Amino acid sequence: MSDVKRRFTVGLTGGIGSGKSAVARLFAQRGVDIVDTDQIARNLTGPHGAAMPALLAEFGADFADAQGALDRARMRALVFTVPDAKRRLEGILHPMIRDAVFAESLLGTGPYVIFDIPLLVESGTWKERVGRVLVVDCPEEVQLARVVARNGLPQAQVRAIMAAQVPRQVRLAAADDVIDNGGALDALAPQVDRLHAIYLTMAEEEVRNN
């Protein structure tokens, strides 16, 4: 998308329950634009979402539910049983998600933009599309306890979700910046303030170089 105005962009990521949403809220309170990639993916595959015609053409009309949204259970079952299905699904969805994320990022008026991307490290392609990778980190046992408390899921199910994500050390190795959320919630704001000051400077440089 070479015709697109460039804005300084931070990719925010972290394992499930690490505290991404809490961190994103603090940046939003400081006037930063937040683009929620999960929400964009849900909209694309929601009732009569923009990705639905292409998905139904690829997989068949019976992959829509009564509301015209993607039948997630059916798609999940297909992805688990048909070797090529995940690649075909992502081949349609990922470029549409990327385009929608960049389009939404241009609407904001804040000094810079944060893309909230839970699977930034796993997806491989986001890392080179953001100016900076910010990882929210906490010990895996803390993640587990928070998600059990938040979602009321059994421990085994949360462990299975965590096992499908990259290990903590792999995510940390991809980070330019790290927020430690292993402690109390009020330890986040000072860390966000420190990074926000750095990102504001980087955003100004980006404007100067454009």
- Based on CB atoms, which residue is closest to ligand ADP, 21 or 123? 21
> Which amino acid does the sequence have at 148?
V
Q: List the one residue out of 3, 208, 20 whose CA is nearest residue 114.
A: 20
Count of residues that bind ligand ADP according to CB under 6 A: 13
Backbone angles phi, psi at 178, to 5 degrees: -130, 135
Q: Which two tokens stand for residue 47?
A: 């009732």
Q: Which two tokens stand for residue 80?
A: 């688990």
Look at the block and give the residue holding tokens 């990022």.
105
Q: Scan residues 106-125 and list those touching ligand ADP (CB under 6 A).
A: none
Residue of the chain from 82, 106, 185, 198 that contacts ligand ADP (CB under 6 A): 185
Q: How far is CA 54 from CA 95, 102, 117, 123, in A?
A: 12, 20, 23, 21
Q: Which two tokens stand for residue 172?
A: 């940390």
Q: Scan residues 9-48 and list those touching ligand ADP (CB under 6 A).
A: 14, 16-22
Q: How far is the CB of 76 from ligand ADP (least distance, A)?
A: 20
Residue of the chain from 184, 190, 209, 210 that contacts ligand ADP (CB under 6 A): 184
x/- binding map, residues 139-178, to ligand ADP, per CB under 6 A?
-------x---x----------------------------
Instruction: Give the SS3 label for residue 110.
Output: coil
Q: List the one residue out of 62, 61, 20 whose CA is nearest residue 39.
A: 20
Q: How far is the CB of 185 from ligand ADP (least distance, A)?
A: 4
- Based on CB atoms, which residue is closest to ligand ADP, 25 or 48? 25
Q: How far is the CB of 127 from ligand ADP (least distance, A)?
A: 18
In angstroms, the CA 4 to CA 80 distance is 37
**Interface with ligand ADP by CB under 6 A: which range of 48-56, 164-172, 180-188, 191-199?**
180-188
In angstroms, the CA 136 to CA 180 distance is 6
Q: How far is the CB of 18 from ligand ADP (least distance, A)?
A: 4
Q: How far is the CB of 19 from ligand ADP (least distance, A)?
A: 4
The residues of the shown chain that bind ligand ADP, judged by CB under 6 A, are 14, 16-22, 146, 150, 181, 184-185
